[in-house]
Structure 1
Amino acid sequence: MTIECITVSTLHNFRGNPLAEQFQLRYRSLIERQSWDVPYVNCMEYDQYDNPATVYFVWREYGKVKGVARLYPTTRPYMLKEVFPHLVSYEPLPSEPNIWEGSRFCLDKDLAPVQRKRVIQELVIAYLEYCLLHGITSIVGLMVPAYWKSVFINNGCPISWLGEYSVAGDGKKIRAGKLIINKEVLNSAKNKAGIFDNVLSFGEEHVMLQCS
């Protein structure tokens, strides 16, 4: 069980091109399946928050990307602040080095249900491990309520809401939320998943870092 933590500057530490493949997975998930109106090129989905500041979390099986998520600092212009500020009404929009935005949580549609759940759990744990290693105390973002529940809440990560429900352009309900990061939440997520080793990998030139 390994989640590859990739940035533009560390891509050389990984075999193949998982960065390009995660853009391709996002294209299949968001544009082909969900008909999102977002930019793409050569069957790769991207937006303005894909740049050298972005941190990607990639789950691969036999070299093929099957799951992805990303983090982005709120000290730069970010999605929730620029595109969906109306979703945040309970507290000010953050712009702090210890608060990052999570987004683009996508999975391959052909994953079996048991494996799908496992990939979700490992990606969530990778988020938590990375944040604890880098002094990040919370993640903000927006999701369909059912996804908040299946991805985070059901996996030991309580969410506090940042505002009321709204409706996206595709007619689905969405809501902004915040996940507080600490060792207790990481332990809760690992206990739920039955995972007790670290999942995060920074590539061939790095060793697995300890977070517990």
Structure 2
Amino acid sequence: MTVECIKNSTAHRFEGNPIAEQHRLRYKCLIEGQAWNAPFIDNMEYDQYDNPATVYFIWRYNKQVKGVARLYPTTKPYMLKDVFSHLVSYESLPATAKVWEGSRFCLDKDLCPKQRKQAAQELILAYLEYCLEHNIGVMVPAYWKSVFVNNGCPIHWLGEESIADDGKRVRAGKLLVNHKACEVVRNKAGIYGNVLSYGCEKRGTMASFLKL
């Protein structure tokens, strides 16, 4: 059970071209699967929040990228503030190093239900583990609130539910990050070991495990 935690600066520690592969998965899920009006090129979906500040969580099956989620700092212009600010009415939008935005939570539609559930649970735990380790909180992806709620995540809502342009119900919220919340999700998923991998960097014949 491993979720790869990758930035542009650490992509060389991982097999293949994981950042390009997650863009291709997003194209498959969002452009082909949901007809999103989002930019793309060479069958890769992307936006302005894909840059060196972005942290990607990548889930593979048989060495292929089948799940992805990302984190982005609210100290820079971010999606909820730029595009979905109408979803936030209970409090001010954050602009702090202590709160990051989660987005682009995608699972390959070709996964069977059991695999999709496993991928979703491990990606949620990746959010929790990373945020605990870096002492930050995370705002959950507006389109995926049911996934987080159904897996035991305590959510603090930032506004009322709304209807998106595609007719789907969306709601912005904050994932309450603490060890108790992580324990609840682990118990529900039956996953008790850490899922995050920061990759390895080869030095001669030795490989050492490195953190971001």
Interval of TM-score (by shorter of Structure 1 and Structure 2): over 0.9
Distance in 2 (alpha carbons) for counterparts of 1:93 and 1:130: 22
Task: State the percentage of identical aligned residues.
Answer: 62
Indicate conservation of the 8 Å contact 1:163/1:175, yes or no.
yes
Indicate conservation of the 8 Å contact 1:81/1:93, yes or no.
yes
Q: What's 2:18 paired with?
A: 18
- The question of 1:122 aligning with 2:122 is answered yes
Corresponding letter in the other structure for 1:139? V
Q: What's 1:170 paired with?
A: 166
Structure 1: which 5+ residue stretches go unaligned? none
Indicate conservation of the 8 Å contact 1:7/1:55, yes or no.
yes
Residue by residue over 1:141-174, the C-alpha shift from the partner in whole angstroms, topping out at 9 and shown as x without a partner, is 4423xx312x211212111111112222212221
- Residue 140 of structure 1 and its aligned partner are, at CA, apart by 1.1
Corresponding letter in the other structure for 2:154? P
Corresponding letter in the other structure for 2:189? A
**Aligned with 2:124: secondary structure?**
helix
Corresponding letter in the other structure for 2:75? T
**Aligned with 1:53: secondary structure?**
coil
Indicate conservation of the 8 Å contact 1:60/1:67, yes or no.
yes
Match of 1:152 among 142, 148, 153: 148
Distance in 2 (alpha carbons) for counterparts of 1:90 and 1:10: 37
Q: How does 1:10-49 map to 2 (within 5 A)?
A: 10-49=10-49
Match of 1:195 among 191, 195, 212: 191
Corresponding letter in the other structure for 1:143? A
Distance in 2 (alpha carbons) for counterparts of 1:14 and 1:25: 17
Indicate conservation of the 8 Å contact 1:75/1:96, yes or no.
yes
**Aligned with 1:81: secondary structure?**
helix
Per the alignment, do residues 26 and 95 of structure 1 end up closer, same or farther by CA in structure 2, a change over 3 Å counting? same
Indicate conservation of the 8 Å contact 1:16/1:63, yes or no.
no
Residue by residue over 1:73-105, the C-alpha shift from the partner in whole angstroms, topping out at 9 and shown as x without a partner, is 001100000111111000000011110000000
- The question of 1:67 aligning with 2:67 is answered yes
Per the alignment, do residues 207 and 156 of structure 1 end up closer, same or farther by CA in structure 2, a change over 3 Å counting? farther
- After superposing on structure 2, the runs of 4+ consecutive aligned residues of structure 1 that deviate more than 6 Å are none
Indicate conservation of the 8 Å contact 1:66/1:108, yes or no.
yes
Q: TM-score, normalised by structure 2?
A: 0.93
**Aligned with 1:115: secondary structure?**
helix
- Residue 189 of structure 1 and its aligned partner are, at CA, apart by 0.9
Corresponding letter in the other structure for 2:138? I
Structure 2: which 5+ residue stretches go unaligned? 202-207
Residue by residue over 1:91-125, the C-alpha shift from the partner in whole angstroms, topping out at 9 and shown as x without a partner, is 00001111000000000101111111011000000
Distance in 2 (alpha carbons) for counterparts of 1:70 and 1:43: 19
How many aligned positions are there?
205
**Aligned with 2:9: secondary structure?**
coil
Match of 2:176 among 173, 180, 188: 180
Indicate conservation of the 8 Å contact 1:89/1:163, yes or no.
yes
Q: TM-score, normalised by structure 1?
A: 0.93
- Residue 208 of structure 1 and its aligned partner are, at CA, apart by 7.8
**Aligned with 1:9: secondary structure?**
helix
Corresponding letter in the other structure for 1:23? H
Distance in 2 (alpha carbons) for counterparts of 1:8 and 1:203: 13
Corresponding letter in the other structure for 1:194? G
Distance in 2 (alpha carbons) for counterparts of 1:172 and 1:55: 26
RMSD: 1.3
